[in-house]
Amino acid sequence: MSTDERVVLVTGAAGGIGSAIALAFADAGWRVYATDLEQPPESVRERCRYRELDVSDADRCRAVVDGVLAESGRLDCLVNNAGYAEAGPVADVPADERTYAALVDGWVLEGPLAVAPERVAAAVVRAAEAERPRARYLDSARESRR
């Protein structure tokens, strides 16, 4: 890997906005790790490194990130795109822990999401390529492990 090649990990890359984000980063010259429970489309698999990942499994999340760091030596950007959708009022959704975490602790969207995946992907890449401050949270997490 070249020392200037930036590395991104994209969750929820098996379709829609996640696939578009992974491909947009690949187009911009990033090394892309595309993750999801299901394999992404062939276009993503050809240009990105696929890793199976269930973001509700903390141990698997750590293993995937550790693997990316071991293989690439860095992780410059994380796009947490993985999600879960349940139609209907939140009060009618089964109250299991995973659903509750996704809908209440995460984002609750109402109405149609009428944004083209390619437009969202372009905005995410532009934001990632903007001048960015040092990742303080990652540094403090490393310190707490010592």
Please, which pLDDT band fits residue 111 given cuts at 50, 70 and 90?
very low
Claim to verify: residue 35 and residue 65 sit in the same structural domain? yes
DSSP labels for 27-70? Answer: HTT-EEEEEESSPPPHHHHHHSEEEE--TT-HHHHHHHHHHHHH
Number of domains in the chain: 2
Claim to verify: residue 59 and residue 102 sit in the same structural domain? no
Claim to verify: residue 91 and residue 21 sit in the same structural domain? no
Across the strands, what pairs with 46? Answer: none
Task: Identify the residue with better confidence: 3 or 114.
Answer: 3
Claim to verify: residue 73 and residue 96 sit in the same structural domain? no
Query: Whole domain around residue 45: which residue ranges?
Result: 7-83+116-145
pTM across the whole model: 0.67
Claim to verify: residue 34 and residue 90 sit in the same structural domain? no
Task: Identify the residue with better confidence: 141 or 12.
Answer: 12
Residue with tokens 């999600």: 83
- Which amino acid type is present at position 130? A
Task: Identify the residue with better confidence: 29 or 104.
Answer: 29
